[in-house]
Structure 1
Amino acid sequence: MPASYSRFSGGNIGRLAGLSDGVFAIAMTLLVLELHAPVVEAIHHQSPIWESGALDAEQALWQALVLLAPKLLAYFMSFLTLGIFWVGQQTQLNQFERVNRHLTWIHLAFLASVSLMPFSTALLGEYIDYRLALAVYWLNLLLLGLMLLASITYGHRAGLLKADVDHHIRLAHRRRIVIYQVLYAVAVALSAINTYVSILLIVLLQLNSAIAPRIWRLSSF
């Protein structure tokens, strides 16, 4: 009987992890490309520092840096986002005994969401006061979470998990994803008040995700 291609394709965990590392590295690098040193005409045409006008140029540079703050904020938030989801994916891959073609494509869809992060970050940085820009960013977060949830769910149903990955471990994966996605949705809903309120809450959630297990020992969250 002829062998089915689906039975043996896309089954290398190491290659999948290597591809993921590369995509995350590129996405993280692309984030910073939206940060450009401000060009201030007053500085390029200023007099020497001891002559009049130098202080005005210094103030102009400060003002230009303040205008760059929304993009810096979006960059910081997205770098945290990608770091958190990289850790999340690597944690999941460590739970798999093997992968198959379907699980590989789930993770490729996850990586497609990762590659969208520079775009959603640039949009938010440019239009940080607009709820639509924040909604697009949130949809990116939602896609990332849904793909990780699909991964652990499918892996269990297909019998791809290691023998020591019990119900409690699987539940911890799902609970963490669902809780944070719900909280992200709540944060975005607060954009009805102000988009900066939403962004502040998202950043706080990300910081909690990154450091809480070491400081507050909230490993169940």
Structure 2
Amino acid sequence: MKRDKLGLDRIVFFSDAVFAISITLLALDLQPPLGPQPNRTASVFVELLPEYQSYVISFIVIGLYWISHHHYFRFIRRYDYTLVAINIGLLMCIASLPFATSLLDTYGNHRGVVTFYASCMVVTGLMKTLLWQYAAHNFRLIHRRLSRQRIRRLTRKAMIPPAVFAGSIAIATVNSDLAKMSWGAIALVLL
């Protein structure tokens, strides 16, 4: 298969745009309280804390997915239309995260909503893992100089976010706040 740098660049540029728009949509959901409330400034900020918490979590997660996407595409040298289709699936998942975040902002204490959010993140992580595994399988679309050990390490690293979010689904059945706190393990492990 011939390398098509322009085609590969277009895939990356389109992906970057979807990531950027998704992160921007997160911020559009943040709304200040209605009307002046000079005597309640501190309590208003406390009331808005869950909204900002969801925003920060989703911003960091989408940001980590973008960093990861960027990192993995450094090793991808060629593409085919299966890779393009998997990438579109991943981008569809990324684009749905502002909606899941909005639900988490509004109904963040409900186990079902925490489970839905975590499930969206599991599917997103699995799509990213699938993208990498498809590209790396038998050096299908990656550079042959990449060691098999590095390929395995990158594959394991891709599985961390969906594994953490899947584990949080089980935790949410007992305590939704603890499930949300468990998501921080992703940053601790990946950074």
Q: TM-score, normalised by structure 2?
A: 0.90
Contact 1:84–1:206 (Cα < 8 Å) also in 2? no
Partner of 2:146: 165
Residue correspondences, number: 188
Question: Residue 178 and residue 207 in structure 1: after superposition, are their counterparts in 2 closer, same or farther (change >3 A)?
Answer: closer
1:31 aligned to which of 13, 19, 26: 26
Alignment pair present for 1:177 and 2:172 = no
SS in 1 for 2:45: helix
Query: Could you tell me how far 1:8 is from its partner in structure 2?
Result: 10
| CA offsets 1:127-175 (integer angstroms, 9 cap, x no match) | 0001111111112111211111111221133721111122112111221
Query: Could you tell me how far 1:40 is from its partner in structure 2?
Result: 4.0
Matches within 5 A, 1:138-149: 138-149=118-129
Matches within 5 A, 1:93-172: 93-157=73-137, 159-172=140-153
Unaligned runs of 5+ in 2: none
Equivalents in 2 of 1:190, 1:150: separation in Å?
25
Equivalents in 1 of 2:71, 2:119: separation in Å?
23
SS in 1 for 2:149: helix
Partner of 1:46: none
SS in 1 for 2:105: helix
More helix by share: 2
2:60 aligned to which of 64, 80, 102: 80
Unaligned runs of 5+ in 1: 1-6, 44-56, 212-221
Partner letter of residue 165 of structure 1?
Answer: L
Query: Could you tell me how far 1:181 is from its partner in structure 2?
Result: 2.1
Equivalents in 1 of 2:121, 2:41: separation in Å?
34
Q: Does 122-131 or 60-69 show the bigger shift? A: 60-69
- The percent of aligned pairs where both chains have the same amino acid is 23
Contact 1:131–1:195 (Cα < 8 Å) also in 2? yes
Query: Could you tell me how far 1:207 is from its partner in structure 2?
Result: 2.7
Contact 1:145–1:181 (Cα < 8 Å) also in 2? yes
Equivalents in 2 of 1:65, 1:125: separation in Å?
14
| CA offsets 1:42-90 (integer angstroms, 9 cap, x no match) | x3xxxxxxxxxxxxx42x2322221111111100000010011001111
SS in 1 for 2:109: coil
Report the structure number with the largest CA radius of gyration.
1
